[in-house]
């Protein structure tokens, strides 16, 4: 059995940031917990971030699984649904009621995708008397 670890490396000119995570969800939580200014700076950074995915095998040895440049904005546009899915916001938006989503967009923008999703779920329940689900 292999345990996966994620390492995020960011080059910000004068300093180099490297953070490790046990899950991709932890990585996204970290990015959301940083200040809005930091998230904006990461999104605007010309230097790509690198995500390393390492496994630890049953003997405790590190096994490199994948090293690739990543688009942080893609990770930041993921949403954790109440059904436990991790989906891209574009996918989630496809299943939303257009009128409700548009009204909410004008009210909340700009906001983070997770915040939008959570507020949409509340409003969907109020308007349609049913939970918003993606099956």
- What pLDDT is recorded for position 13? 47
Mean pLDDT by 10 residues, the chain (135 residues): 58 55 72 59 56 64 59 66 81 94 92 88 96 90
Spatial distance between the Cα atoms of 132 and 30, rounded to a whole number of angstroms:
26
- What pLDDT is recorded for position 48? 56
Spatial distance between the Cα atoms of 18 and 114, rounded to a whole number of angstroms:
25
- What pLDDT is recorded for position 89? 86
- What pLDDT is recorded for position 1? 40
In the chain, where the domains are located: 3-75, 79-128
Spatial distance between the Cα atoms of 30 and 24, rounded to a whole number of angstroms:
10
- What pLDDT is recorded for position 52? 62
Spatial distance between the Cα atoms of 20 and 107, rounded to a whole number of angstroms:
36
- What pLDDT is recorded for position 70? 57
């Amino acid at each position: 059995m292999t345990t996966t670890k994620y390492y995020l490396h960011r080059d910000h000119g004068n300093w180099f940031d490297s953070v490790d995570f046990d899950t991709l969800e932890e990585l996204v939580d970290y990015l959301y917990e940083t200040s809005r200014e930091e998230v904006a700076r990461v999104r605007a950074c010309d230097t790509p971030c690198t995500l390393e995915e390492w496994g630890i095998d049953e003997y405790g040895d590190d096994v490199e699984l994948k090293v690739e440049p990543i688009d942080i904005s893609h990770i930041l546009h993921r949403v954790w649904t109440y059904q436990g899915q991790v989906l891209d916001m574009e996918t989630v938006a496809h299943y939303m009621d257009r009128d409700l989503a548009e009204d909410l967009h004008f009210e909340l923008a700009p906001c983070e995708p997770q915040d939008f999703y959570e507020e949409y779920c509340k409003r969907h329940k109020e308007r349609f008397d049913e939970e918003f689900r993606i099956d």
